Amino acid sequence: MGAVAPEPKFDHLLAMTDRHGTFEHACVAEPRLEHGYCTDDMARVLVVVSREPDASDGVIALAKLAVRFLNEAQSFAGGCRNRMDRHGRWVDDFAFEDCWGRCLWGLGTAAAHSDIGLVRSLSVVQFERAARGRSVWPRAMAFAALGAAELLGVDPDHHAARQLIADYAKGVAAAGADPDWPWPEARLSYANALLPEAMIAAATALDDTALCQRGLDLLEWLIDCETLEGHLSVSPAAGWTAGEPRPGFDQQPIEVATLADACARAAGVDASAIWTSTVRAAAAWFEGANDAGIPMWNPATGAGYDGLQADGVNLNQGAESTLAVLSTFQQARRLVSVSQ
């Protein structure tokens, strides 16, 4: 891999955080207090801070805050609430939707990778609680499978994680009949690379070579779809399907980060250069190697911008976009260190 990606900078993420959690949205750089917090973002916070080597005191405090938030989000039966208002009051009901899957992803990642003993132990307890449930939504189950795979990486005999990942694998959608559209859904939508990444993660845990190869093939197909003239041009928020002209905008940072995560995992099981080169391209997308030729982050604060649009950049700096920058740079720097 070539040049090292910038070092993740947590200043903006910390500025977006108070005693309850990390605010979801921002107006330019200022948190929009009225929109409160969400489990989706706090799970992403836990993933990113658990991956960070030699974490600062502020990042360590974020890890502890995220674990507490996810604990409060859960029900005893495993369901998860997503939305908390600015005063710390939950405003929705328990469910088994994406926030549940992301909760398991964050907890499994922290249980496997956090340098904080208390965070690791609490994450295992909370993971086991959430793993009592199952979701009917493919992306929710895919996020949950990622968390289970991380936990199994350090505890191969963990029963709840192994059962969860086995149930996920049984429910993976069959390939479509059209060889030109192998995607398991009728159209690309959001966090697309999550689907092949979960296949690869589950296959590795279950020693399922066929599922692993399917995940790798799907991921390579997605990369082909999202590469234009040597740089990433990720699926816009509206998505697209076979036979439609591909819309160029509005491109979301979460698509780039999800692709980087998936390719980093693929690089762990397959030696093809496409995986590391795509992680490098993902980091470069944030630095300006994109359809607009404009940086998608603020190097002074570490903030990520909310979207790449036909007329420029959405300069709002919400939690999801900032975490996408941090995550992508982490993956790019980790792969460089592994290759050296």
Structural domains of the chain ordered from first start: 36-171 (no CATH), 191-340 (1.50.10.20)
Residue owning tokens 């470069």? 284
Instruction: Identify the pLDDT of residue 1.
Output: 40
Q: What is the pLDDT of residues 41-81, one digit of tens each?
A: 999 999 999 999 999 999 999 999 999 999 999 999 999 99
| Three-state SS at 331 | helix
Largest CA distance in the chain: 52
Q: What is the pLDDT of residues 127-159, one digit of tens each?
A: 999 999 999 999 999 999 999 999 999 999 999
Q: How many CB atoms are closer than 10 A to CB 212?
A: 21
Summarize the confidence of residues 14-31 as an average pLDDT: 98
Q: Which residues pair with 23 in a beta bridge?
A: 37
Q: Would you say residue 36 has pLDDT above 60?
A: yes
pLDDT for 243 equals: 80
**3 or 21, greater pLDDT:** 21
Question: Do 91 and 129 contact (CB within 8 A), yes or no?
Answer: no
CB neighbour list of residue 267: distance below 8 Å, 6 or more residues apart: 275, 276, 279, 335
Could you say which DSSP state residue 57 is in? H
What pTM was computed for the model?
0.96
What pLDDT sits at residue 229? 86
Among the listed residues 257, 286, 283, the one whose alpha carbon sits nearest the alpha carbon of residue 336 = 283
Q: CA-CA distances (angstroms) from residue 241 to 184, 185, 188, 338?
A: 12, 9, 6, 36
Return the bridge partners of 103, or none: none
Euclidean distance between the first and the last CA atom of the chain, given in angstroms as a whole number: 9
